[in-house]
Amino acid sequence: MPSETTPDPYADPLVFGQRLQILRTRRGLTREQLGGLAGRSGSWVKAVETDRLKTPRLEVILRLAEILRVRDLSDLTGNQSVHVSFFTGPGHPRLAEVKAAVEAFPLDAGRQAPPIAHLRARLDRAWAARHSAPNHREAIGALLPDLIRDGQAVVRRAETAADRRRAHSLLAEVYSLSQFFVAYQPDTALLWRVVERALIAAQESEEAHAIGVAAWLAGQAYRDSGTSHFDAADEVNLRTLAHLEPLLPDASDDVLAITGALTFEAGYTAARRGETGTAWRYWEQARDMAARLPAGYYHPVTSFSRAIMGAHAVTVAVELRQGGESVRQAAAADAVVIPSRPRRARHRIEEARGYHLDGQPDVALATLAQAHEAAPETIRYNGYAKRIVLEEAEGKSPARRRRASALAVKLGLLAA
């Protein structure tokens, strides 16, 4: 709870600079760090925070909101008439059903446990739906409640130690699928409950692939929580990599792929820190692992593959704020088709960020339109995409404003 000497930016009528200082401090950023990420100096941040400079222009406010990962633009501006959720969405209609299944105490003695093979087949179909449906949250949200309850029942009904380990492996994967639904929903506590349950079930399974998947998602949750959690993201990634490394000489494709995905995630976090050499070194290591996989292979959870490395290169360049390199990598990756619709949409968003950094707003908007076509539910919950759309909707070019505004309406940022 905030003390009397620490105002709450979500409740008190504070000026912009005060809100900026409180939110910056809560994210664990120094003025120099925030200024560097925003393309300004630490002294500029101090001047804004102490009200020696007036409130910045909209594009700067949007950039600060992105860096601070504010839950709503009004949290930073104080203008309660402008509500734009950035890194959380409005709450999916199926969120309550999924939450009820996660939070129920699993002691339903009357529930029959399906055969493990049956649950495995249903889970495979759920992953396929997640990758193929444009409304992927709706698709998996409809399946998750029963998958969660049946996954818990399979663990309870396991009769041998081997069966129990297999059941825990499946339950860990169910919780991992759940994280894809719960991420960016307005319920942080539920997200962390799912993360922790996936990690616990994976450890109980003693199965390398399940452990790797749960750690991959936990690392993302930590990293997306802000700069003060980057160390925790590194800890879970690097410890899991150390656990998997001895298995690699004889590893299956799935274990090799999740190791490659974790390696890239370490590079992703390094890029968020601004550590250029480390970020690209991890990307190169992940690329070498991808080269060991069959040409047509795609990891069923992470999409890790030979083909995804071009998209990963765009992400590294964007996070390092390398506009020209982002565009170059986007051009190199553009010929590759990513089978997963949400992952393809995510790649288009990363490309759009690169074009925007490179001063090509028209191309950025066109690329965001492609992302919306691939998977509307991906772009609707993406703060980076929202920032670009809102910034261009207030820009100087009338034609660009019209295109951005039309996309903003599709994303629910502006009324039709």
Compute the distance between CA of residue 304 and CA of residue 310 in angstroms, rounded to an integer: 11
Three-state SS at 33: helix
pLDDT band of residue 109 (cuts 50, 70, 90) is low
The per-residue pLDDT for range 351-384, each reduced to its tens digit, is 999 999 999 999 999 999 999 999 999 998 888 9
Average pLDDT over residues 391-399: 89
pLDDT at 82 exceeding the cut of 60: no
CATH architecture designation of domain 16-77: Orthogonal Bundle (1.10)
Indicate the domain borders of the chain: 16-77, 324-416
* pLDDT value, residue 371: 96
10-19: long-range contacts (C-beta < 8 A, 24 or more apart)?
10/75, 13/78, 14/78, 15/51, 15/78, 16/48, 16/55, 16/76, 16/77, 16/78, 17/48, 17/49, 17/50, 17/51, 17/55, 18/49, 19/75, 19/76, 19/77, 19/78
pTM: 0.84
Compare 67 and 13 and report the one with higher pLDDT. Answer: 67
Task: Give bridge partners of residue 72 from the DSSP assignment.
Answer: 85
Average pLDDT over residues 332-359: 91
Compute the distance between CA of residue 397 and CA of residue 262 in angstroms, rounded to an integer: 42
Task: Give bridge partners of residue 85 from the DSSP assignment.
Answer: 72
* pLDDT value, residue 252: 96
Q: Which two tokens stand for residue 351?
A: 């490309």
* pLDDT value, residue 76: 83
pLDDT band of residue 2 (cuts 50, 70, 90) is very low
Q: What is the mean pLDDT of the chain?
A: 90
* pLDDT value, residue 201: 97
What burial class does residue 249 get, using C-beta atoms within 10 Å of its C-beta: 0-12 exposed, 13-18 middle, 19+ buried? Answer: exposed
